[in-house]
Structure 1
């Protein structure tokens, strides 16, 4: 139980590092949706950051996960750190040179205004340079420092967004000093979002810069090749994951008629954000368990602990699924700044369930990570990406962004089932499938009742949520008390 308590503690802190900054940044959603009132501007923003997400995976090329594996596995940790830092530093600088010299080609490829390519390139490189410093904090189990830096990043980003998008225009209109008038440019909303991001990412790199100076640099070609061999399938899986996560927005831009494409993407992208609560939970849990999986892979019967972790993930995820569905209309009115976005609320339960399936998949994926069979991760996620592409391309012309929501659910659901199937064969974990299926089924049924039968009625939904919480407490209360109230040795 002490191991589980330690895991949940670290997951809670990583959750703060992930959830609190995202919650702070979530307040940017009403800001952006009020500034981009016709939704097309928000659609353009969504398209740009979808491409940033894809390029982020290529610039990381699986080195974060490879670093964890070799850091815990290898004896010469300093060489692994220095080799990883040199690898990402060189590849990032090479990308920057190529991106700035090929702006026209990139603009044509991505449908991004050529004036924005420079900004996106700087953001991508700054984010790539902090991958290993952040991974090192997680590997050394320093979640508090990790959380602090992450929160600082988003507070800075949020502050500059508010300044550039709300305060600066008012100061310029009121005829403030010449300095503020000189830096204000009308119609520069997206550029100001980029500038805010660059400032926040740059300061984050500055805070983590000591990592680069404390290392005794030594590049080990042998270790690097082994890491790349391990990281290659992870990168393929990462690209496939990112296709599942963001490529639907890009396809909506490409497939829908030009006069409505950006507006539809804006509505879809804004409502997609309301599923962020499930995504944040899954991300926080994954960040806590990934180092845990590797560090405890050689302990006695680790599979039993992995099974317990997955059980509690499903229980907590089921509560989040039902809770967000019950309050979806309240959240929509609170965070979507213009009524034009409300028509997309129908996608939220579907995206939520899809994100839940993805979170379960990450828990199930322990088998191919600890057995060094990352190729299966690439296979499974590639199948998910293929499903995403087929459904989007086939159904977007018929049902618009609802096709993208359904594709998300079907792709992640398929990945979850495939990982469970292959995991039973190569690394059996004694999951309590009866309990997992029970909680998942009850949560889905109650969510469907609240959203579709009671038509988002807050009172009816709240009663269903309380019933579910009571059920969880009755069945799991004693076990949860045993974990969290037990003293550590």
Structure 2
């Protein structure tokens, strides 16, 4: 349990910073959804969907590759770090050159011919974030969670402040005094483009804060090591790309597959994307866990009790994820106010997306089998199968069910990937996961969610009291069963 507590403490550091940072970022959701229409917010969502795909390609899997090959003894001249960093820098310089050549044609193809600055601005954000990912990976590997968290929080805080400045302050001053100094930096025609500008400025400042870590470029480039890193990391690109398909493709396809006119499709895309944000608490925890767990899994792999620890980690991970699922779904009447009234028509997808994220988290836990056994190619095949399922189900269900079909496709994909990964893991890296207990906790959470919906028909006063009672019931049941297992480990 001491190892679990250590992992939990690392997750807490990453988690608190992520929660604080994402909470600040989360405040942008009501800002965007109250100040822009659903169709305008759909434009932002579309670009972020595309960004997910490019973020994988521009990093080339070298984040995980660095964890696998980093030099633990000579950290002052870690060739794995300098090799990975130099390679990622060169890839992104080439990418920016390509964007400069095709920006006009690409903007026209995306129906943004009047705003080519959208593509240019977003490509710069992608480049800065991709290059910064390697220094961030080094901070995680060296357990410098506080510095990692500090830089992340500063970036998000700056994004929020700049967004408030450009979206609220500037239009207000410009409307009352268009001849003021604001006219030098603010143009109302840019509109939602200021969302991209705020993100770019914050990413640039983050890059500046990480400049001390960039000194590693001078440590050299090892061609032999680079070859080994490419062979290991290339399947990670496939895995990452497939993961982005599973996570982002629905928002890219809704614009084209919904059976309405373009304006209505963009409105539906905006509604779905805003409601997707309501699953943020689950995503926050999974992200924080991944930051802490990935280097932990690699570092602990040689211990005699590693597999036992991995099994316990997954169980407690699921317990906490189900808690988050209940917190959001039972108190949805509160969480709905984080999006504008126009966007609340899509609240029905929130429980589906929360459960999908839980399955994604389980898959992340289970994926240690191919990372620790260097079977990344086989892991890539699992991700590709999931991506294929996502594509097929979205093409099938979006015209029939609208954006609700996208939510169900996401759940089906992640659940399938978790099952397949578990089966393969038991063959190549068997871990004695407590499957029955894990499924029981998930079933308990779903059961309490449906019970809440039925009981609300009869208990119409103080609905928060009913939700609180069901939350407490979950905590008591899990506490009772886990207390018994601690007292009798063989039970």
Matches within 5 A, 1:352-431: 352-431=354-433
8 A contact 1:329–1:345 mirrored in 2: no
Give the Cα–Cα distance (whole angstroms) in 1 for the partners of residues 256 and 90 of structure 2.
Answer: 34
Q: CA 1:111–1:61 in 2, change beyond 3 Å: closer, same or farther?
A: farther
Matches within 5 A, 1:31-180: 31-37=31-37, 39-71=38-70, 78-112=78-112, 113-175=115-177, 178-180=180-182
CA RMSD of aligned residues (A): 1.9
Q: CA 1:46–1:233 in 2, change beyond 3 Å: closer, same or farther?
A: same
Residue 336 of structure 1 pairs with residue 342 of structure 2: no
Q: CA 1:103–1:467 in 2, change beyond 3 Å: closer, same or farther?
A: same
Residue 280 of structure 1 pairs with residue 284 of structure 2: yes
Matches within 5 A, 1:171-210: 171-175=173-177, 178-210=180-212
Give the Cα–Cα distance (whole angstroms) in 2 for the partners of residues 479 and 202 of structure 1.
Answer: 50
Partner of 1:21 in structure 2?
21
Give the Cα–Cα distance (whole angstroms) in 2 for the partners of residues 251 and 189 of structure 1.
Answer: 24
Residue 321 of structure 1 pairs with residue 325 of structure 2: yes
Partner of 1:211 in structure 2?
213
Give the Cα–Cα distance (whole angstroms) in 1 for the partners of residues 381 and 449 of structure 2.
Answer: 32
Give the Cα–Cα distance (whole angstroms) in 2 for the partners of residues 19 and 253 of structure 1.
Answer: 31
8 A contact 1:395–1:403 mirrored in 2: yes
Give the Cα–Cα distance (whole angstroms) in 2 for the partners of residues 260 and 48 of structure 1.
Answer: 18
- Provide Cα deviations, 1:229-254, integer angstroms capped at 9, x if missing partner: 11111111111111111110111001
Equivalent residue of 1:299, what SS?
A: coil
Equivalent residue of 1:294, what SS?
A: helix
Q: CA 1:105–1:380 in 2, change beyond 3 Å: closer, same or farther?
A: farther
Q: CA 1:241–1:74 in 2, change beyond 3 Å: closer, same or farther?
A: farther
Q: TM-score, normalised by structure 2?
A: 0.93
Partner of 1:487 in structure 2?
none
- Provide Cα deviations, 1:453-476, integer angstroms capped at 9, x if missing partner: 637954433322111111122223
Matches within 5 A, 1:282-321: 282-321=286-325
Give the Cα–Cα distance (whole angstroms) in 2 for the partners of residues 188 and 271 of structure 1.
Answer: 25
Structure 1 stretch 99-108 or stretch 217-226: which is displaced more?
99-108
Size of the alignment, in residue pairs?
Answer: 478
Give the Cα–Cα distance (whole angstroms) in 1 for the partners of residues 227 and 25 of structure 2.
Answer: 38
Equivalent residue of 1:102, what SS?
A: helix
Equivalent residue of 1:428, what SS?
A: coil
Equivalent residue of 1:130, what SS?
A: helix
Match of 2:472 among 447, 466, 474: 466
Residue 5 of structure 1 pairs with residue 8 of structure 2: no
Match of 1:432 among 421, 431, 434: 434
Superposed displacement of residue 191, structure 1: 1.3
Superposed displacement of residue 177, structure 1: 6.3
Superposed displacement of residue 406, structure 1: 0.4
Give the Cα–Cα distance (whole angstroms) in 2 for the partners of residues 312 and 96 of structure 1.
Answer: 43
8 A contact 2:311–2:434 mirrored in 1: yes
Give the Cα–Cα distance (whole angstroms) in 1 for the partners of residues 244 and 335 of structure 2.
Answer: 26
Q: CA 1:404–1:227 in 2, change beyond 3 Å: closer, same or farther?
A: same
- Provide Cα deviations, 1:116-146, integer angstroms capped at 9, x if missing partner: 1111111111111101110000010110110
8 A contact 1:327–1:458 mirrored in 2: yes
Structure 1 stretch 452-461 or stretch 213-222: which is displaced more?
452-461
Structure 1 stretch 206-215 or stretch 349-358: which is displaced more?
206-215
Matches within 5 A, 1:257-272: 257=260, 258-272=262-276
Q: TM-score, normalised by structure 1?
A: 0.94
Match of 2:236 among 223, 234, 237: 234
8 A contact 2:86–2:217 mirrored in 1: no
Superposed displacement of residue 299, structure 1: 1.2
Residue 250 of structure 1 pairs with residue 252 of structure 2: yes
Unpaired stretches in structure 2, ≥5 consecutive residues? none
Structure 1 stretch 257-266 or stretch 169-178: which is displaced more?
169-178
8 A contact 1:100–1:121 mirrored in 2: no
Give the Cα–Cα distance (whole angstroms) in 1 for the partners of residues 292 and 435 of structure 2.
Answer: 23
8 A contact 1:78–1:216 mirrored in 2: no
Superposed displacement of residue 330, structure 1: 1.3
8 A contact 2:71–2:80 mirrored in 1: no
Structure 1 stretch 409-418 or stretch 469-478: which is displaced more?
469-478
Superposed displacement of residue 26, structure 1: 0.3
Q: CA 1:301–1:351 in 2, change beyond 3 Å: closer, same or farther?
A: same
Q: CA 1:452–1:94 in 2, change beyond 3 Å: closer, same or farther?
A: farther
- Provide Cα deviations, 1:432-484, integer angstroms capped at 9, x if missing partner: 11211111110111122224663795443332211111112222358899xxx
Give the Cα–Cα distance (whole angstroms) in 2 for the partners of residues 324 and 176 of structure 1.
Answer: 43
Give the Cα–Cα distance (whole angstroms) in 1 for the partners of residues 110 and 465 of structure 2.
Answer: 45
